[in-house]
């Protein structure tokens, strides 16, 4: 089987009202792989590629900055020890350079922010949202607002959103990691372990430490010190289940059943990882404080199914030196509150 | 009694021939002798040969020993099929397989062949597929499994940089046609089937031109 491909004449293609054949054709490959097809009324956007950037009619310095953003996005390890303290790149979870539907495509952030965010209960800018990724998913401390790295990452996000209207009313096709239907059976640790060993361990290692070759990162760690911390979005079981269903094993999306995806997500998210940076010194208290806005979806601060271990009951930060990065717990617009 | 001697006693008790694990300490010197027959095609220095419009012989020098051993076992046991290779693999016993694998793994890496006449567009496409992939077609980059520099990851994902273009091309086509399927979890097969002939040719020539440092 060879899938037909066509080169886009223009950078990106967006469809706001109705679904054009052009936009559909771009995602034909995904649909053939079993992904849901765009539905009537959805905003279907095909973000421009780096090749499109080469040909784009924009200032050469802007091109350079967008390229720098792309480079940071796909090789975030270059910020290791400064902003990143685990083994992740942005593109470890946002596959396809942040362009891919059902893989947390990142361009929607550029057209839906600033917006209120439930996780921190205030209005966030694009930079603050990116800072959140650094604090949790990268177990790090974000680059400063307005810094070169922040600007480059923001510019890359905005470039990917080229042509999409700001604050679109329509639902976005493939946005985030769409929640799977509830599994028929409650997620199970032992079944999840079985799936992990059969489907994941070959790359990510039995002990979840991922894989390094000659000191260079190849496969990210699904848990442990090299992984995201307990406060990262993907430590929510439903997010991990969706990420896996739509993206794993690499190159074979949609190959696991929903039940397998839920089970293996439950297994992975039942393992230890660096502490939630919002840790108060007491895991049960921390869970309670952020239960409604976040931890009701994680296993943090609960007793593990198969052995009763209290998850997250430690002050281990992995390689990170300070628990609370500068961007967390900063109130906004206090003066607008009653 | 350690577990090894338990295994030995168990083997003796059950009247089995020597437990293979006992004899599997690799000896590259013994491997060199056993590999004499391999050199006819793979060359005495393990460099193999790109054969235009024929069957190319892969470079073995510097490949991961575990990977070479796995492939030889797969030939013997029919999981990997190749008319020229199968009879030779059948000549090797388990001990000779680990020895031969260790021997080739230690040889200095030689240059890949078959990419000299590639044009610029082909090389650009090859580089894209090798390093970044083409997600519009859900072709994951080679690098994401074959590792930084495409020099291989463990015994599962072989080094493909500096391999002969003709060999890489033939293997991808074999995966595409379902003639090769001894990869773990169909990880390669799934991707090969999304590539067209030009993609395969492009990535093969680009990879063949990439230098690999010897260990």
Determine contact, residues B206/B123, Cβ cutoff 8 Å: yes
Average of per-residue pLDDT across B173-184 = 96
Cβ <8 Å between A249 and B187: yes
Question: Are both A27 and A156 inside the same structural domain?
Answer: yes
Question: Are both A213 and A86 inside the same structural domain?
Answer: no
Percent of chain B as helix, strand, coil, to the nearest 5:
55, 5, 45
Q: Report if residue A131 sits inside a domain.
A: yes
Question: Are both A17 and A110 inside the same structural domain?
Answer: yes
Q: Concatenate the DSSP letters of all residues of B45-57 into one string.
A: TS--B--TTS--B
Question: Are both A25 and A148 inside the same structural domain?
Answer: yes
β-pair partners for A123? A116
pLDDT higher than threshold 60 for residue A8: no
Q: Report if residue A213 sits inside a domain.
A: yes
Chain A positions touching B136 (Cβ under 8 A) are: 5, 26, 29, 49
Q: Report if residue A179 sits inside a domain.
A: no
pLDDT in tens, A27-74: 999 999 999 999 999 999 999 999 999 999 999 999 999 999 999 999
Closest CA to B57 of B203, B164, B152: B164
What CA–CA distance (Å, rounded) separates A318 from A229? Answer: 9
* Among chain A residues, CA nearest to B187: A251
A249 touches chain B (CB under 8 A): yes
Fold type of domain B120-208: Cytochrome Bc1 Complex; Chain D, domain 2 (1.10.760)
pLDDT in tens, A142-152: 999 999 999 99
Determine contact, residues B127/B91, Cβ cutoff 8 Å: no
Dihedrals φ, ψ of B138, to 5°? 55, 40
pLDDT higher than threshold 60 for residue A6: no
pLDDT in tens, A108-117: 999 999 999 9
> Do B20-106 and B120-208 have matching folds?
yes
Q: Report if residue A313 sits inside a domain.
A: no
What CA–CA distance (Å, rounded) separates B175 from B172? Answer: 5
Question: Are both A206 and A254 inside the same structural domain?
Answer: yes
Q: Is B91 annotated as a binding residue?
A: no
pLDDT in tens, A237-247: 999 999 999 99
Closest CA to B109 of B143, B145, B157, B159: B159
* Among chain A residues, CA nearest to B134: A96
Q: Is B73 annotated as a binding residue?
A: no
Closest CA to A87 of A211, A182, A200, A174: A211
With tokens 């030009």, the residue in question is B198
Instruction: Give the model's pLDDT for residue A19.
Output: 55
Closest CA to B98 of B20, B21, B158, B25: B25
B30: tokens are 């013994």
> How far does the CA of residue B158 sit from the closest CA of chain A (Å)?
12
Instruction: Give the model's pLDDT for residue B5.
Output: 38
Residue A213 has its nearest CB partner, among B133, B147, B184, at B147
Chain B positions touching A202 (Cβ under 8 A) are: 156, 184-185
Residue B135 has its nearest CB partner, among A2, A100, A214, at A100
Question: Are both A127 and A87 inside the same structural domain?
Answer: yes
* Among chain B residues, CA nearest to A205: B154
pLDDT higher than threshold 60 for residue A294: yes
Number of domains observed in the structure of chain A: 2
Residue A213 has its nearest CB partner, among B140, B153, B191, at B153
* Among chain B residues, CA nearest to A96: B135
Question: Are both A21 and A149 inside the same structural domain?
Answer: yes
Determine contact, residues B100/B72, Cβ cutoff 8 Å: yes
Q: Domain holding A203: CATH number? A: 1.10.760.10
Q: Report if residue A311 sits inside a domain.
A: no
What CA–CA distance (Å, rounded) separates A214 from A216? Answer: 5
Provide the phi-psi class of A192: left if phi over 0, else alpha when psi is between -120 and 50, else beta. alpha
For residue B128, the surrounding DSSP H or E stretch is: helix B120-131
Provide the mean pLDDT of chain B. Answer: 89
Q: Report if residue A53 sits inside a domain.
A: yes
A121: tokens are 């209960």
Q: Is B85 annotated as a binding residue?
A: yes
Architecture of domain B20-106: Orthogonal Bundle (1.10)
* Among chain A residues, CA nearest to B178: A1
pLDDT higher than threshold 60 for residue A5: no
Return residues 90-149 of A near B (CB < 8 Å): 95-97, 99-100
Contacts of A224 (CB under 8 A, 6+ apart): A207, A208, A209, A271, A272, A273
Question: Are both A194 and A264 inside the same structural domain?
Answer: yes
Residue ranges of domains in chain B: 20-106, 120-208
Cβ <8 Å between A96 and B151: no
* C-alpha separations of A5 from A44, A57, B82 in Å: 18, 24, 32
Contacts of A88 (CB under 8 A, 6+ apart): A76, A77, A137, A138, A139, A220, A226, A227, A228
Dihedrals φ, ψ of A300, to 5°? -55, 135
* Coil/strand/helix, residue A117: strand
pTM as predicted? 0.91
pLDDT higher than threshold 90 for residue A198: yes
User: What letters, b where the CB count within 10 A reaches 16 and e where it falls short, cover B197-210?
Assistant: eebbbbbbbbbbbb
> How far does the CA of residue A264 sit from the closest CA of chain B (Å)?
17
Closest CA to A145 of A332, A322, A317, A279: A332
User: Checking DSSP bridges between strand A44-46 and strand A13-15, what pairing results, if any?
Assistant: antiparallel
Evaluate whether ipTM surpasses 0.85.
yes
> Which candidate in A30, A46, A218, A254 is best for mutational testing of the B interface (most B CBs within 10 A)?
A218
Domain residues for the domain of A45 are: 13-160
Determine contact, residues A126/A113, Cβ cutoff 8 Å: yes
Q: Report if residue A250 sits inside a domain.
A: yes
User: What letters, b where the CB count within 10 A reaches 16 and e where it falls short, cover A286-303?
Assistant: bbebbeeebbebbbbbbe
For residue A293, the surrounding DSSP H or E stretch is: none
Residue A218 has its nearest CB partner, among B147, B185, B190, at B147
Domain boundary among A122, A139, A160: A160
How many C-alpha atoms does A290 have within 13 Å on its Cβ side?
26
Classify residue A87 by its DSSP letter.
S
Determine contact, residues A7/A122, Cβ cutoff 8 Å: no
Contacts of B179 (CB under 8 A, 6+ apart): B81
Chain B positions touching A216 (Cβ under 8 A) are: 147-148
Percent of chain A as helix, strand, coil, to the nearest 5:
40, 5, 55
Closest CA to A33 of A7, A58, A1, A65: A1
Classify residue A213 by its DSSP letter.
E
A244: tokens are 């896996």
Average of per-residue pLDDT across B168-174 = 97
Chain A positions touching B144 (Cβ under 8 A) are: 218, 250
Question: Are both A69 and A112 inside the same structural domain?
Answer: yes
Chain B positions touching A49 (Cβ under 8 A) are: 136
Length of chain B measured in residues = 215
Determine contact, residues B152/B63, Cβ cutoff 8 Å: yes
Average of per-residue pLDDT across A206-221 = 88
Contacts of A145 (CB under 8 A, 6+ apart): A127, A128, A131
A314: tokens are 């430690």
A252: tokens are 């074979």
> How far does the CA of residue A253 sit from the closest CA of chain B (Å)?
10
pLDDT in tens, A275-284: 999 999 999 9
Chain A positions touching B156 (Cβ under 8 A) are: 202
A100: tokens are 């891919």
- A&B contacts, CB < 8 Å: 70
Q: Report if residue A182 sits inside a domain.
A: no
């Amino acid at each position: 089987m060879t899938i037909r491909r066509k080169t886009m004449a223009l950078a990106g293609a967006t469809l706001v009202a109705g679904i054009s054949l052009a936009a559909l054709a771009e995602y034909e490959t995904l649909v053939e792989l079993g992904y849901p097809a765009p539905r009537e009324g959805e905003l279907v956007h095909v973000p421009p590629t780096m090749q499109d950037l080469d040909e784009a009619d924009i200032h050469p310095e802007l091109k350079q900055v967008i390229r720098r953003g792309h480079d940071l996005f796909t090789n975030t390890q270059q910020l290791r020890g400064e902003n990143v303290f685990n083994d992740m790149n942005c593109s470890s979870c946002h596959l396809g350079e942040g362009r891919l539907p059902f893989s947390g495509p990142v361009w929607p952030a550029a057209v839906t922010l600033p917006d209120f965010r439930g996780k921190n209960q205030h209005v966030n800018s694009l930079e603050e949202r990116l800072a959140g990724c650094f604090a949790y998913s990268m177990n790090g401390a974000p680059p400063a607002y307005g810094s070169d790295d922040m600007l480059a990452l923001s510019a890359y996000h905005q470039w990917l959103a080229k042509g999409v209207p700001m604050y679109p009313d329509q639902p976005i096709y493939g946005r985030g990691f769409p929640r799977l239907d509830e599994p028929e059976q409650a997620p199970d640790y032992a079944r999840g372990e079985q799936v992990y060993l059969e489907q994941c361990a070959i790359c990510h290692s039995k002990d979840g430490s991922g894989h390094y070759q000659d000191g260079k990162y190849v496969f990210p760690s699904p848990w442990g010190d090299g992984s995201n911390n307990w406060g990262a979005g993907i430590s929510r079981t439903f997010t991990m289940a969706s990420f896996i269903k739509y993206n794993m094993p690499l190159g074979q999306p949609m190959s696991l059943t929903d039940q397998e995806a839920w089970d293996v997500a439950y297994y992975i998210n039942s393992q230890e990882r660096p502490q939630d940076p919002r840790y108060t010194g007491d895991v049960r208290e921390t869970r309670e404080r952020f239960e409604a806005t976040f931890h009701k979806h994680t296993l943090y601060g609960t007793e593990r199914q198969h052995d009763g271990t209290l998850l997250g009951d430690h002050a281990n930060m992995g390689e990170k030196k300070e628990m609370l990065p500068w961007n967390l717990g900063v109130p906004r617009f206090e003066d607008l509150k009653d | 009694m350690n577990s090894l001697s338990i295994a030995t006693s168990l083997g003796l008790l059950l009247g089995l021939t020597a437990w293979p694990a006992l004899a599997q300490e690799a000896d590259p010197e013994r491997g060199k002798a056993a590999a004499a027959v391999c050199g006819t095609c793979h060359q005495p220095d393990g460099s193999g040969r790109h054969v235009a419009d024929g069957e190319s012989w892969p470079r073995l020098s510097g490949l991961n020993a575990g990977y070479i051993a796995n492939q030889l076992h797969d030939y013997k046991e029919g999981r990997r099929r190749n008319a020229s290779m199968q009879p030779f693999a059948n000549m090797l016993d388990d001990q000779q397989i680990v020895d031969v694998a260790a021997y080739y793994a230690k040889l200095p890496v030689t240059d890949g062949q078959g990419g000299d006449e590639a044009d610029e567009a082909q090389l650009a496409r090859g580089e894209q597929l090798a390093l970044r992939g083409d997600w519009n077609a859900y072709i994951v980059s080679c690098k994401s499994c074959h590792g930084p520099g495409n020099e291989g990851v463990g015994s599962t994902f072989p080094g493909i940089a500096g391999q002969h273009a003709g060999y890489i091309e033939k293997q991808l086509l074999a995966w595409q046609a379902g003639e090769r399927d001894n990869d773990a979890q169909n990880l390669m097969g799934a991707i090969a089937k999304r590539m067209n002939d030009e993609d395969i040719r492009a990535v093969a020539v680009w990879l063949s031109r990439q230098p690999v440092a010897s260990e």
